[in-house]
Amino acid sequence: EPEVTQTPSHQVTQMGQEVILRCVPISNHLYFYWYRQILGQKVEFLVSFYNNEISEKSEIFDDQFSVERPDGSNFTLKIRSTKLEDSAMYFCASSERVAGEETQYFGPGTRLLVL
Amino acid sequence: EDQVTQSPEALRLQEGESSSLNCSYTVSGLRGLFWYRQDPGKGPEFLFTLYSAGEEKEKERLKATLTKKESFLHITAPKPEDSATYLCAVGGAGGTSYGKLTFGQGTILTVHP
């Protein structure tokens, strides 16, 4: 069964460093998303991406964040200068839309710890 | 702004003891209501999508229903392996993007043998 994969599973970094989180969406999907979940809190939307551009972004997704689809299979989230409050689980999701219906499938997540 | 509230926050059941989880929502035009299961340290696993009031879907011991204001996830004769956090999310038709999901806090279900 096709699934979304993410690497790395865990990332520890120092405050101020850049991190890149990687995702391989399901192959025939065209819509891509990043969400995050701070420990004990809700899953929060960060950004949606379609046709090589951002469709929508949340208030969390400020200038320190960027997304890219560098090739036909990968989808990345970059945090330029990490802050302590960026520590969270980051989930990638992908979907297709058929007749107006859409279901997002999530990856296993990357646990980011900023020290 | 779309909002999702789930209750109860935690639910402890004995194996075989049926119950229901609630998801109340407000959304500017419901595009879909989604139920996911999340195990500790894992990503949300898709269970159901409901699109319109009155719709029902079933999968094994789980049944999801939808009204104009809330959704229920009914668990019939649960087993210990059903223990997980159950997440409800809504997709609204407002805004510039079709896809954003707004999640509830989740209900932590524990089923004791």
Each of the 115 residues of chain A gets a pLDDT tens digit; together they read 789 999 999 999 999 999 999 999 999 898 999 999 999 999 999 999 998 899 999 999 999 999 999 887 899 999 999 999 999 999 999 998 777 778 899 999 999 999 9
- Confidence class for position B29, pLDDT limits 50, 70, 90: confident
Distance between B29 CA and the closest CA of chain A, angstroms: 14
B12-31 residues touching A, CB cutoff 8 A: 31
Structural domains of chain B, count: 1
pLDDT value, residue B70: 97
CB pairs under 8 A between A and B: 68
Q: Given pLDDT bands bounded at 50, 70 and 90, which one contains residue B4?
A: very high
Contact A42 B104 (CB under 8 A): yes
Could you tell me if B9 lies within 8 Å of chain A, comparing CB atoms? no
pLDDT band, residue B37 (cuts 50/70/90): very high
- pLDDT number for residue B40: 93
Per CB-CB distance under 8 Å, the chain B contacts of A42 are 103-106
- Cα B95 → chain centroid: 23
CA–CA distance, B99 with A7 (Å, rounded to integer): 23
Taking 90 as the threshold, does the pLDDT of residue B99 lie above it?
no
Phi-psi map region of A51: left, alpha, beta (phi>0 left; psi -120 to 50 alpha): left
Identify the CATH assignment for A5-96 out of 3.40.50.300, 2.60.40.10, 3.40.50.10420, 3.30.499.10. Answer: 2.60.40.10
Beta pairing partners, A115: none
Confidence of residue B94 (pLDDT cuts 50, 70, 90): low
Query: A104: closest CA among A91, A115, A93?
Result: A93
**With contacts defined as CB-CB under 8 Å, which chain B residues touch A45?**
100-102
Q: Is B89 on the interface with A (CB under 8 A)?
A: yes
- Using H for helix, E for strand and C for coil, what is the string for B13-72? EECCCCEEEEEEEECCCEEEEEEEEECCCCCCEEEEEECCCCCEEEECCEEEEECCCEEE
Among residues B67, B26, B74, which one has the least CA distance to residue B47? B74
Nearest to B36 by CA among B13, B4, B1, B79: B4
Cβ of A43 and B87 within 8 Å? yes
Owning domain of residue B55: 3-112
pLDDT tens string B56-93: 999 999 999 999 999 999 999 999 999 999 999 999 87
Residue count of chain B, please give it: 113
Amino acid, res. B85: T
Q: What CATH number should be reported for the domain holding residue B103?
A: 2.60.40.10
CA–CA dist A82, A13 (Å, integer): 8
Query: pLDDT value at position B95?
Result: 52
